[in-house]
Amino acid sequence: MMFLVLLFLWAIAFYSLLPFLERMDPVIQGFTWGIILGAFIIILAGAGIAFSRTTNPETLTRVAIPLDTSRVTRVVRERTADEVVEHLVYGTPEDTFREACEDGWPFKMIDRNDDWIIQDSQSNDITDRPLIECRGIASIVVYNGTLASSEETDHLPEWWDAED
């Protein structure tokens, strides 16, 4: 509807300028024609953009996407000499942290054959617990209790490991 109103106003302006255009200098007449045609092109382009952005209500599904519970993703933190790297491990809900970590082995500073465990934020050993049972961010630690690549204490704020 707005397009038709703008087109009508453009037509009125165009026809009201015709008598004046005949008496103008050719250079000014050319500029005036350019402005008139430019305004018409802008009106058409704006209408094209407006019509192309309309949404068809039939294309909206309004249906929730079901959650895929066949795969579980958990975060396991690896401490390197100068940073903390977080890795995603995947598995079925019944897979243990050990199985999920060994499946992809994302850790750079720890050898797969080393003695290591996975700890939760309260330092509980969750290595052989299913992924579905543990929430929050876990950390990989070598078996003797020292961090994998550093003797430093955790420099992250206390809220970092807060569970939901």
Residue by residue, pLDDT tens for the chain (164 residues) are: 666 777 777 777 767 766 777 777 888 878 877 887 888 788 778 777 776 666 565 665 666 667 777 888 899 998 877 888 899 998 999 999 999 999 889 888 888 888 899 999 888 899 999 999 888 899 998 765 444 443 334 444 455 555 54
**22: Cα within 13 Å, side-chain hemisphere:** 4
pLDDT, position 162: 53
- The residue behind tokens 């019944």 is 94
Residues 6+ apart with CB under 8 A from 134: 74, 97, 120, 126
Cα separation, 30 vs 56, whole angstroms: 43
Q: What is the DSSP secondary structure assignment for residue 94, as one 8-state letter? A: T
Nearest to 118 by CA among 132, 104, 131: 131
Count the residues in the chain. Answer: 164
Please give the Cα distance from 2 to 127 (Å, whole number): 65
Give the residue ranges of DSSP H helices in the chain.
Answer: 2-22, 26-52, 97-104
Distance CA 54, CA 50 (A): 7
